[in-house]
Structure 1
Amino acid sequence: MTIHKEGYTSIALSILFIFVLNAIVHYFLPDTTWLHWIIYILSFALFVIILQFFRSPNIIVQQNEEQVICPADGKVVVIEETEETEYLKDRRIQISVFMSPINVHVNRNPISGVVKYSKYHPGKFLVAWHPKSSTENERTTVVIENNKGVSVLFRQIAGALARRIVCYSKEGDAAVQGEQFGFIKFGSRVDLFLPLGTEINVNLNQVVQGGVTVLAHLKPSTNTTKTK
């Protein structure tokens, strides 16, 4: 278990805040020992909470070009057929994974291939489970096309708490299944848009693990793509 690089600044600021707070308590409230201990305990709890937000576990990814692995830790909150209107512009199976504040917030490539599209969209900060969060919230959309011509679109979506999305994918990059493509601070959700006919391996409300859980199997008949 390591600390993700995206957490270094937040952790440093948290340590500074805790140090200043405890110094004020120590020097300006010298006669209230019970209050000191309450502040110390709460400060320690805050530090642990911030630290666990940015944990980055070491996992072994079983790569398979026919599989779509989960891009994030969390719970499956949507499985439905829908229209993807940003890039693919066709009917797709949408799978959405909600990340709570206690989940690992590392995001991983669901398939290997070439990044065909990557775009950041500023937006609102509706709660992540709001139906309009996928199209109105701050978000980043990425499309990877594998060596069989199958395109998978996935989208990082900010929520009410998450105000910073980090995406490393750039158009033309080689994407490796299971490798990190981004990070969302403090919790939100990731949407995937898979070809119709894809065999879905998860159920609603199922707890999933990024880089480990196999969300779906791509079938030969689903090998269609939209190239721009």
Structure 2
Amino acid sequence: MSSMRDVLKPVMVPINREGYAFVTLFGIVTVALGLVWEPLWIPGLILTAWCAYFFRDPDRVTPTRPGLVIAPADGVVQMIRDVPPPPELEMGDTPMTRVSIFMNVFNVHVNRSPIDGTITKLHYRPGKFLNASMDKASVDNERMSLVAENERGQQVAFVQIAGLVARRILCDAQLGDDLKAGERFGMIRFGSRVDVYLPKGVVPLVCENQLTVAGETVLADLGSGQRGKEGPRQGEVR
């Protein structure tokens, strides 16, 4: 019996409350279609199971050492660039290292705070729904931008970006909220991206094409001079 539980543990995880309505709707449609034509039960059940899987919200074990910047999203490091932060955050035009994490429809879409800190800025900007893997999605797409400041006065900006399929950004954080690294603060529905802007002089400890786990993967260390993790960037061959 215990071995069966171990096998099912990766898929038997809690569902985020934002998914309850969707899973219920998929279930109702499945029943209606099955009553109309019995073979439709199978695709309906598959889609309902996928919906529940999409909204899964597993517990995570977050590193607790002060100064660590933790991945806010599951996915893959799509790109690492030195670019100015979003203008609505009023952080100036000096380039910051941006780590972009792309989430596909099979990733967990619950977003988590990258650091221990207070939300000092929060701004929603409507926009387009370009493919989130494109660099210009950071500029043109609908987004929710936040800044968290830790007790040492260091600021980390992070941005939820809607993608080609994603049409809904959910952010529960409010100005003045104190968040812990790894704490849930929102989600983006159906494929998207989260950008993290590191303070000047802080190097990323991840590389492009690396997989990340929200609330667990260390992106950077605000209190360390450690060299960044080297790896091939887009367009490079090694």
Q: Which residue of 1 aligns with 2:102?
A: 98
Measured against aligned partners, the alpha-carbon deviations of 1:10-57 in whole angstroms (never above 9, x if no partner) come to 11111111111111114xxxxxxxxx2xx2221121111111110000
Structure 1 residue runs of 4 or more that deviate by more than 6 Å after TM superposition: none
Task: Give runs of aligned pairs for residues 51-62 of structure 1, distance below 5 A.
Answer: 51-62=52-63
Structure 2 alignment gaps of length 5 or more: 1-12, 226-238
Which of 167, 173, 176 is the matching residue for 1:169?
173
The 2-side partners of 1:135 and 1:65 are apart by 31
Task: Report the alpha carbon displacement of residue 97 of structure 1 after superposing the two structures with TM.
Answer: 0.3
Q: Are 2:119 and 1:115 equivalent residues in the alignment? A: yes
Aligned length: 210
Q: Which residue of 2 aligns with 1:11?
A: 23
Q: Which has the higher strand share?
A: 1
CA contact (8 A) 1:69 1:212 kept: yes
Structure 1 alignment gaps of length 5 or more: 27-35, 222-228
The 2-side partners of 1:59 and 1:130 are apart by 29
Q: Are 2:149 and 1:148 equivalent residues in the alignment? A: no
Task: Report the alpha carbon displacement of residue 141 of structure 1 after superposing the two structures with TM.
Answer: 0.4
Q: Which residue of 1 aligns with 2:182?
A: 178
Between structure 1 and structure 2, the one with the greater Rg is 1
Cα RMSD between the aligned structures? 1.3
Task: Give runs of aligned pairs for residues 190-201 of structure 1, distance below 5 A.
Answer: 190-201=194-205
Q: Are 2:29 and 1:44 equivalent residues in the alignment? A: no
Q: Which residue of 2 aligns with 1:81?
A: 82
Q: Percent identity?
A: 40
Over 3 Å counting, the alpha-carbon distance change for 1:212 and 1:20 in structure 2 is same
CA contact (8 A) 1:79 1:96 kept: yes
Q: TM-score, normalised by structure 1?
A: 0.88
Q: Which residue of 2 aligns with 1:63?
A: 64
CA contact (8 A) 1:82 1:91 kept: yes
Letter in 1 for 2:34: N
The 2-side partners of 1:80 and 1:137 are apart by 18
CA contact (8 A) 1:61 1:211 kept: yes
